[in-house]
Amino acid sequence: MARVHNFSAGPAALPVSVLAEIRDELLEYGDTGMSVMEMSHRSAAYRTIIDDAEATLRRLLAIPDAYRVLFLQGGATLQFAGIPMNLMRTGRAGYVVSGNFANRAWQEARRYGTAELLATSADTGFDRIPDLAPVTERARTGELDYVYICENNTIFGTQYHELPECGSAPLVSDVSSCFLSQPLDVERYGLVYAGAQKNAGAAGVTVVIVREDLIADGPALPCCPSYLDYRLEAEKGSMYNTPNTFGIYVCGKVFRWVEELGGLSTMRERNAAKASLLYDLIDASDLFRGTAQRDSRSIANVTFRTHSPELDAAFIAYAEERGIVNIKGHRVAGGMRASIYNAVSMESVEALAACMRDFERTAPRSI
């Protein structure tokens, strides 16, 4: 087996033990005589799979009973529309635009109501989480149906290290790229959601955790498609239509893996150690520099660059020769990005660090 050191931002590395279990169960799941892919989503065997996935997630995050867990499709992107359609009861919400995905969510929400821009870091190229004072101030007027944030900015390598105080306005957060990487205080939010392909499984599943009272009256907008009606999906146990059965099965395995390793505080320790290794190296380096402001740095996506795009490209190629792949930055950000989600081992991060040191020693500075 020749597995590379995979720093992909998503779909991202999965734990090898999870992949091996899936392989072992691929043709015949338990004593069912069939693959999970071939099973009715209404069968008893599948019921156990989805119920176990939800129960494990509830234990991991200590999700209170007042919150519903949905396993939906359409990526995080579909929720950019689902959130305003369900929650914009008076037609006015506030958005913090801290990066590309937050911006997309904001643009999408503007199609459905008044989406106020509460704060942005666009002026400095999204190198930080914006100052949250105006967010708190506006939220406390009680005039917003919700306040929207993107908690970890996958492309720019920034992350919230504290949450805005929103008074009675529910906080809605896209946690796609930091989900399960550290503890999450669900009660601070009205709704949190995450695409699975960063840290929780394969592409094609989006986990939505929503406070029941926010959806009890059905969607805010009558035009909301049934598929995106959170109340309906909750009533139907995420089975209004055929869910991504295999994807939810993979999520359940990853949730178990996280739990067996010690849960979310263990994940935070492991991820913080991996992130520090890279940030310390970058801070001490004459060649590499971090692109995110220090107090906004992400523990999931480490973004950095050299002094020239040509040298960045040379480093990316150099790393690839050593089996270190997917460290090219997103096309809108350039440079390099190492995504160090839960399944990326310290060994892989050490390999990247060694590669950076070697390159720094030998690289031609004139490029």
Ligand X SMILES: *Cc1c(COP(=O)(O)O)cnc(C)c1O
Interface residues with ligand X (CB under 6 A) are: 10, 75-77, 101, 150, 154, 174, 176-177, 195, 198
Cβ nearer to ligand X, comparing 154 with 181: 154
Q: How far is the CB of 8 from ligand X (least distance, A)?
A: 11
Cβ nearer to ligand X, comparing 192 with 267: 192
Q: Which of 192, 237, 157, 177 is nearest to 79 (CA)?
A: 192
CA distances from 16 to 1, 23, 257, 300 (A): 11, 10, 10, 19
CB 97 within 8 A of CB 117: yes
Q: How far is the CB of 34 from ligand X (least distance, A)?
A: 28
List the structure tokens of 98: 């801290």
Q: How far is the CB of 199 from ligand X (least distance, A)?
A: 9
Query: CA angle, 233 as apex, 37 and 43 as ends, to 5°?
Result: 35
- d(C-alpha 214, C-alpha 230), whole Å: 9
CB 1 within 8 A of CB 16: no
Cβ nearer to ligand X, comparing 154 with 326: 154
Element (H, E) at 245: helix 245-261
Q: How many residues does the chain have?
A: 367
Cβ nearer to ligand X, comparing 296 with 306: 296
Cβ nearer to ligand X, comparing 271 with 306: 271
Q: How far is the CB of 180 from ligand X (least distance, A)?
A: 13
Cβ nearer to ligand X, comparing 99 with 311: 99
Q: How far is the CB of 203 from ligand X (least distance, A)?
A: 7
Q: Which residues contact 332 (CB under 8 A, 6 or more apart)?
A: 100, 155
Residue closest to ligand X when measured from CB atoms: 75
Q: How far is the CB of 101 from ligand X (least distance, A)?
A: 3
